[in-house]
Amino acid sequence: MAQGFEFLKEFMRSPSRVGAVWPSSTGLASRMVEWIDWSAVDTVVEYGPGTGAFTRAILNTKPERCRFLAIEFSPILAADLAARYPQVQVVTGSVEDIVCICDEHGIARIDAVVCGLPWSIWTPSLQRSIMRATRDMLSERGYFTTFAYLQGLLLPGGRAFTRLLDEVFPTVQRSRVVWRNLPPAFAYRCRP
Ligand SMILES: C[S@@+](CC[C@H](N)C(=O)[O-])C[C@H]1O[C@@H](n2cnc3c(N)ncnc32)[C@H](O)[C@@H]1O
């Protein structure tokens, strides 16, 4: 609950960055990570961890040896996440700089991206530049997973993002809808 209010405060400070009023549920977090073959993942990067709804699920699932970097734009959320999860390398910054961030941290390729960004409220050009850089950093047999709110599919940004995923990835699947998420959402599961 405390994380929920911290998240809400960040949303009120910066609605267009945070893009949600409440953290994702454990049900949605499971839909994000359960389909990945973690035995093939040496490096996972989480985009926009917020208060850590997916961070916990990643930590519970990934093998011990797998490196875990999380990139969060909000300095307040990033500092709090780093304090709660010292085993995660938390970077305060924007995933728009994913190539530089990987370079600075000695990461040549990412095997899995678990992404919590609010794509549907962004312009197609911002979506495209982040996705292009992400695709460049993703291993040939990597995993990309993100989520969408059902109502977000009605927004122009949500529709543009669905088209972009189909353009960038040969394989794009959707999980079942998690109705007990606030609001209901599903995971996109993409492979290069
Ligand atoms: C919709 S919230 C999701 C938070 C969390 N993953 C969850 O599902 O509960 C989006 C998060 O992405 C962060 N964010 C937005 N733009 C970002 C960017 N360019 N780079 C990194 N993080 C960003 C926001 O600060 C926020 O924490």
pLDDT single digits (tens) 134-168? 999 999 999 999 999 999 999 999 999 999 999 99
Distance 116 CA to ligand 1 centre (A): 6
Ligand 1 site-directed mutation target among 11, 21, 26, 47, most atoms within 8 Å of CB: 47
Distance 78 CA to ligand 1 centre (A): 10
**Contact 43/66 with Cβ under 8 angstroms?**
yes
CATH number of 2-191: 3.40.50.150
Distance 50 CA to ligand 1 centre (A): 5
Distance 106 CA to ligand 1 centre (A): 23
Pocket lined around ligand 1, Cβ cut-off 6 Å = 17-20, 23-24, 47-50, 53-54, 71-74, 77, 94-96, 116-118
Ligand 1 site-directed mutation target among 17, 33, 51, 123, most atoms within 8 Å of CB: 17
Over the stretch 105-117, which tens digit does the pLDDT of each residue have?
A: 999 999 999 999 9
The DSSP bridge pattern shows strands 138-149 and 185-191 to be: antiparallel
pTM: 0.96
The rounded distance, in Å, linking the Cα atoms of 113 and 146 is 8
In whole angstroms, how far apart are CA 89 and each of 20, 30, 62, 79, 127?
Answer: 24, 21, 15, 11, 25
Reply yes or no on whether the pLDDT at 77 is more than 90.
yes
Distance 94 CA to ligand 1 centre (A): 9
Over the stretch 78-97, which tens digit does the pLDDT of each residue have?
A: 999 999 999 999 999 999 99
Q: What is the DSSP string of 15-38?
A: HHHH--SSPPPHHHHHHHHTTS-G
Over the stretch 37-50, which tens digit does the pLDDT of each residue have?
A: 999 999 999 999 99
The rounded distance, in Å, linking the Cα atoms of 111 and 146 is 15
Specify the residue with its C-alpha closest to ligand 1, atom 2: 18
**Contact 185/28 with Cβ under 8 angstroms?**
yes
